[in-house]
Amino acid sequence: MEATLKILNELESEGVISRYAIGGAVGAIFYMEPFLTYDLDVFVLLPQTTGGLLTLGPIYEVLKKRGCKEEGECLLIEGMPVQFLPAYNPLLEEALTEARETHYAETVTRVLRPEHLAAIMVQTGRDKDRQRFSTFLKEAELQEEYLYGVLQRHQLTEKFNTWKSTI
């Protein structure tokens, strides 16, 4: 994974992406016991296009020139399936802005805060998010005041409380 993160850092320094942070299941592993996951979810801020459309095309073009191959909705970067997810709503934009800088081995990277990961699980609402949610709340060290601020800003408090009451 470290080689993959180095390439992501290069994409950012070259301006192919404006900012990135690890989210999804791998992001959660930074805060709780590891579990099996298939890919690395990378949330990205994309440079603005003249037409205002968000496109992953430039990322794919650059990485394919470097020899990366497509695998389903992922690109294989140094053998690691990576799914690029644009920050397409205010919660994801905030999560990227507030992402924590950390190290993976010798490489600097960013990971979404656990409070944002919890809010994204609630907002996304998939069965697998709901299953992971209860474990995440028990194992991750969440700053409650910060979490409730995120939930309020993004109108997720009621859904969060419903999910929490079922665990």
The whole-number pLDDT of residue 143 equals: 97
- What does the pLDDT read at residue 131? 87
pLDDT higher at 151 or 130: 151
- For residue 128, the Cα-to-chain-centroid distance in whole angstroms is 15
Which pLDDT tens digit goes with each residue over 67-117? 999 999 999 999 999 999 999 999 999 999 999 999 999 999 999 999 999
Tokens (6 digits) for 114: 């656990």
Residue 55 banded pLDDT, cuts 50, 70, 90 = confident
Could you tell me the pLDDT band of residue 50, with boundaries at 50, 70 and 90? low
For 39, phi and psi rounded to 5 degrees?
A: -135, 170
CATH number at residue 135: 3.30.460
Q: Domain containing 24: what range? A: 2-165
Bridge partners (DSSP) listed for residue 77: 80
Task: Measure the N-to-C terminal CA separation of the chain; round to a whole number of Å.
Answer: 33
Q: Can you tell me the mean pLDDT for 148-163?
A: 97
| Predicted model pTM | 0.93
Among 49, 44, 50, smallest CA distance to 18 is for: 44
Residue 47 CB neighbours (<10 A): 12
Please tell me the total count of domains within the chain: 1
Q: What is the mean pLDDT of residues 112-129?
A: 96
pLDDT reported for residue 49:
65
